Amino acid sequence: MAIKVTVTDNYDELSNLAAGKVAQLVKSKPGKPGAVLGLPTGSTPLGMYRQLISMYQDGSLSFRDVSTFNLDEYVGLSPDNENSYHFYMQQNFFKHVDIKQHNINIPDSNAADVEAECAEYERKIETAGGIDLMVLGLGNNGHIGFNEPDSHFPARTHKVKLDESTIQANARFFSSIDEVPRFAVTMGIGSIMRCRSIMLLASGKAKAPAVKGALEGPITPALPASALQFHMDVTVILDKDAASLLKSH
Ligand code: F6R
């Protein structure tokens, strides 16, 4: 199996390892064009972003020539809404490092013609030479990006209706569940599988069943992350709790 699994003692260790892998890739592609990263939002990568920011601050890492493509964005929130993924990325990462704003890509989910915007997003990824490293979080329901259970595996960037379980899980960021958007634009499983390498991060007991399904279960659209078993270069970094149901660890 092409999936390399590392189980860490705690979230800080997970974050340091994840940041180390991103830094290694960025340093391996100096000059123009630099590394192309795929990035997630959510709680899980926050420690990794903090660590990458401190590497930039101590002068050991630069994002000068790095390009990024975010996985997804809600439909109906403006980029300056504090729950939008545009806002999250600026707040938690981009504004603290030397990445160039024109090298940042996040789906414009409010475009008048969303389908054309999705096709354009895929075209931009191709023009950038494809994604070198896609960093992923994992939903409690096994989603990656906003590819919910029963997603079509070959799909590229597209508009999706969010699963009820995702709306509930993400309500913690909003003042009420009614404010959680019902739709999003996400890279598809097909877009994710085209990335040259993938790093999946999961922390906490709530993720343990999805982790087990993704790594040890059958490959099935019912658990979208299980598609990663088909990919040739996947690194999974877990803390003990997220790994607690795995047979092999
Ligand atoms: C976020 C994303 C989602 C999250 C997942 C886990 O851009 O695509 O798939 O990675 O919902 O979220 P957290 O990390 O908040 O548990």
Tens of pLDDT, residue by residue over 111-151, are 999 999 999 999 999 999 999 999 999 999 999 999 999 99
Model pLDDT, residue 2: 76
Q: What's the chain's average pLDDT?
A: 97
* 55: amino acid identity, one letter: M
Model pLDDT, residue 248: 76
Rounded distance from Cα 111 to ligand 1 centre (Å):
23
Model pLDDT, residue 73: 98
Q: How far is CA 62 from CA 13, 42, 54, 100, 123, in A?
A: 22, 23, 11, 11, 26
Which of 70, 103, 141, 147 is labelled catalytic? 141
Q: Which of 238, 226, 228, 153 has its CA nearest to residue 197?
A: 228
Confidence grade of residue 46 (pLDDT, cut at 50, 70, 90):
very high
Q: How far is CA 214 from CA 17, 23, 76, 191, in A?
A: 21, 26, 30, 18
Q: Which residue's CA is the nearest one to ligand 1's atom 9?
A: 145
Residue 107 in contact with ligand 1 by CB distance below 6 A: no
Query: 1-5, 34-38, 146-150, 188-192: which range is least confident on average?
Result: 1-5
Bigger pLDDT: 127 vs 1: 127
Percent of the chain with pLDDT over 70: 100
What's the average model confidence in pLDDT over 69-91?
97
| 72 in catalytic set | yes
Q: Which residues contact 56 (CB under 8 A, 6 or more apart)?
A: 62, 63, 96, 97, 98
Q: Which residue's CA is the nearest one to ligand 1's atom 4?
A: 137
What's the average model confidence in pLDDT over 72-87?
97
Residue 72 in contact with ligand 1 by CB distance below 6 A: yes
Confidence grade of residue 245 (pLDDT, cut at 50, 70, 90):
very high
Model pLDDT, residue 13: 98
| 16 in catalytic set | no
Q: For Cα atoms 202, 7, 232, give the angle at the middle one, nearest 5 degrees.
A: 75
Residue 70 in this model has a pLDDT that exceeds 70 = yes
| 86 in catalytic set | no
Q: Which residue's CA is the nearest one to ligand 1's atom 1?
A: 41
Model pLDDT, residue 94: 98
| 143 in catalytic set | yes
pLDDT tens figures, 188-227:
999 999 999 999 999 999 999 999 999 999 999 999 999 9
